[in-house]
Chain A
Amino acid sequence: MRHAIALMLFLTLLQGALAYAALGGAPSDFGGTPVTARRLAATGAATAAATDAVYTVSQSTLDSGTIVREYSDTAGKVFAVSWRGPTLPDLRTLLGDKFGVMTGAAAKRAQAGHSQLALEQSDVVLVSNGHMRSFAGHAWIPSALPAGFDTTTID
């Protein structure tokens, strides 16, 4: 039986350049003004709603106002990313080696429009939606998700 998890949130404002991990784990400097939120697991909590995934969320607000979040496992490897805001972030940096998967898939969608992209592969799940001045999306590596991680919590 799984025990519920109480998530504790620590916000740390980091100064200066910060090495971010792109999806899949390759470290990179994403830029922007970073805020890091750590979500830690603890056992023995009362409710059974959550699962005992342990991960860290790093949030960065870009100059444009777009918010980027990177979800890292305990080993520091980024297993999920998300973005929301008026401009698209640098997806090559954010997606790491999965960027090529995205462009390869997008190139095959001859009939589809320009406002949505949904990709479901064994190596990456990616959703990118929106329009100029209002973009949002997320991506994760299914095989890299921490045990019990609920992908609907990515926001």
Chain B
Amino acid sequence: MNIWRAFSSIHCLTYLFPYLGVVMTPQVWIYLFLLLSATAYGVYNFRDLTLPYRLLIAQVFLVLLSEITSQVIRHFILSSFPVYYVLIPALLLFNSLIYRTLFKSSIVLKEIVTIVAIILLVIHWYLSLCTSEVWTESFPSISLMLLSLFTISVSLLVFIQMLYSPIMIPLQKQAIFWWNSGNLFFYSVTFFIFGYFRYIKGLGQNMPEWSYTQIWLASMVMYSCHFTSLYFNRKKSNLKNGNDQ
């Protein structure tokens, strides 16, 4: 991966966005920088990574693209909601694929993950196409909460599997620990915030500003954990050490 090419792309974007009238807050820039760094690191070390983490790079790259796209289209149609109608099922697909590769020794769990993911995809598209209002006016919060619930459940199963099949590598050097902890943290925060403000308090789209900051912070934690997991997976492959996933 040519680091200079990546840098010059960012350089172009910094001119492109103001030209299009798109103004991005420092929060967004930091977020994009983290996503781009993780993607660049993953692509550069692609050959040294195992299958689940190669899928993770693709997922992070997709999130990066969707974030840029949402910033641009928000300027034109005043809403970034349509992006999430595509991003959420894509995240569901990637998460289920990655978790499938992690449940190596249990065919039953693999099949359960696949079936649940398919069911949730069907529910999402049904809600999006048949019951939802115009995409620009409503956020797919039910789909997001279902995705959060799915990921929280599966990540807890992975933690249980780790307890039953420990490996002799320190926990803080295991890629799966970082990846799973990041997912658990982010999706727990997201599930709580959406569940509380939209459905318990009944605020609908009018969530307080600080809740979006919380979600942003949680996503920063998640992608930092993902970056760390890429680092340890690559190191493990280089050392040819242990049976870490």
Are A and B genuine complex partners? Answer: no
Q: Which residues of B does A touch, CB under 8 Å?
A: none
Q: Which residues of A does B touch, CB under 8 Å?
A: none
